[in-house]
Structure 1
């Protein structure tokens, strides 16, 4: 038996995780030097995805992911100032537009995958669901759907959104521009208190079986503390950058788990599905943003068919209305989670003839 075998193995794994994070940080830093919007999130995600395609690296272990979710929720909740909560009274009409938009996105993208790709309806609708990837994959597994191709379409859409949406907004003039530095950052003691409160509530949510419990718990705890005025300010900028790098690394690394042949074969279909879903989403984003009196850039981020944590952090990095964007993605996440199992009970899995 080799001496110190276990600590050496553990140290080797840690060193590989540090390499993964360092590569992601290099991508984010390069984007930041180039002046790209949402640089740390989109740059880290893009380089992580490229590296994962060329040479798969180990995924970050669960503690890294859990810490990222808690800190992400804490950052997002800091946008819930008393003033922002007052402005949220304008959101209900926009949220109604969102629910209609989600249904149209699923119908249009599902029809494309059904009739162009000749997929069964059950696979087509699950791949068309805008966001809520963890819920979609859980339902796919329970229904015996093709998880591989559903994952390809979903992950492709998310990666393209995070990589390209900031630049598209900037080039089109819809972007809110470079985010201003936060007026105030919390001190170390307050940061620890808010984070621990979010972790505690997240663990409660986890015991209750809720989806994405740590992120939701931290978001709600931080929102309550900031919304009541008990806490003012956000986490220090180095922490915000680190969270974006970790989130980008996690998203980009997911592509390493998809077989290369399957990825190449489904690539054209993923592009078509993305074009349909994003076109419908941005069409509905315009009236919703007008009704809520927010910028069209915030509407684009709120209606973009990506994951909750990714799109909310993207909005934060771009200086958009984070509360508006987060509220819409949260409502969509819950709506998909509740409606998807009910819809699929009436859908059969046979391919069309």
Structure 2
């Protein structure tokens, strides 16, 4: 039986689609300017995906307050995805075909492991929180914040719930990875001294 706490905390916000009309040019300018500024602050604070998180924060606040209503026009969304894809593609510059194939194998293995962990998480959490398993899977599955939120929107799931989980994962990794690396360094130094 679900506790009242779980029911109050883990709820679907009901946001399943984008606004019907496009954002005005002035509102878009406000959003982009605010996102650039907050992204720069996040970059100085050494947060991962600083400009992405800055854009999400400013856009969320702008839409929650209804100061910047509307969605980005289709041409802007498609352009952003094309630029993102092209930037990701540049990461493959200079690697050999052999390394590329090894990377694909490693990527598939890691993806299978993390998808398995996401499915296990859904199975364990679903009876407690009582949410749709597809919503939980997209929230727990491996992937970038923007891609998983886009999948949620296209699937008619709650993009706010999904994005919140992925942003939390990024923030958690920001804290845990440096701690783990420090621990690894300390162990390595102790082994070198012995």
TM-score tier (shorter): 0.7 to 0.9
Q: CA deviation at 1:193?
A: 1.7
Q: Does the 8 A contact of 1:278 with 1:305 survive in 2?
A: yes
Q: Distance in 2 between matches of 1:333 and 1:345?
A: 19
TM-score (ref. length: structure 1): 0.44
Q: Map 1:95-174 to 2 at 5 A.
A: none
Cα separation, partners in 2 of 1:267 and 1:194, compared to 1, 3 Å: closer
Partner of 1:183: 20
Which consecutive residues of structure 1, in runs of 5 or more, have no partner in the other structure?
1-88, 95-178
Q: Tell me the matched-pair count.
A: 178
Q: Identify the structure with bigger relative contact order (alpha carbons < 8 Å, sequence gap 6+).
A: 1
Q: Map 1:80-91 to 2 at 5 A.
A: 90-91=9-10
Match of 1:226 among 63, 67, 90: 63
1:94-139 residue CA offsets vs partner (Å, 9 max, x unmatched): 9xxxxxxxxxxxxxxxxxxxxxxxxxxxxxxxxxxxxxxxxxxxxx
Q: CA deviation at 1:318?
A: 3.9
Q: Does the 8 A contact of 2:48 with 2:170 survive in 1?
A: no
Q: Does the 8 A contact of 2:18 with 2:153 survive in 1?
A: no
Partner of 2:79: 242
Which consecutive residues of structure 2, in runs of 5 or more, have no partner in the other structure?
1-7
Kindly report the root-mean-square deviation, in angstroms, between the aligned alpha carbons of the 2 structures. Answer: 3.1
1:195-246 residue CA offsets vs partner (Å, 9 max, x unmatched): 2122222222233333322121121111111112323221112212222222
Q: Distance in 2 between matches of 1:299 and 1:257?
A: 38
Q: Distance in 1 between matches of 2:38 and 2:119?
A: 34
Q: Does the 8 A contact of 1:303 with 1:328 survive in 2?
A: yes
Partner of 2:3: none
TM-score (ref. length: structure 2): 0.74
Equivalent residue of 1:328, what SS?
helix
Partner of 2:169: 332
Q: CA deviation at 1:271?
A: 2.7
Partner of 2:160: 323
Partner of 2:51: 214
Q: Distance in 1 between matches of 2:36 and 2:22?
A: 20
Q: Distance in 2 between matches of 1:293 and 1:192?
A: 40
Q: Map 1:281-300 to 2 at 5 A.
A: 281-288=118-125, 294-300=131-137
Q: Distance in 1 between matches of 2:32 and 2:129?
A: 30
Q: Distance in 1 between matches of 2:123 and 2:30?
A: 39
Partner of 1:194: 31
Q: CA deviation at 1:257?
A: 4.5
Match of 1:345 among 178, 182, 188: 182
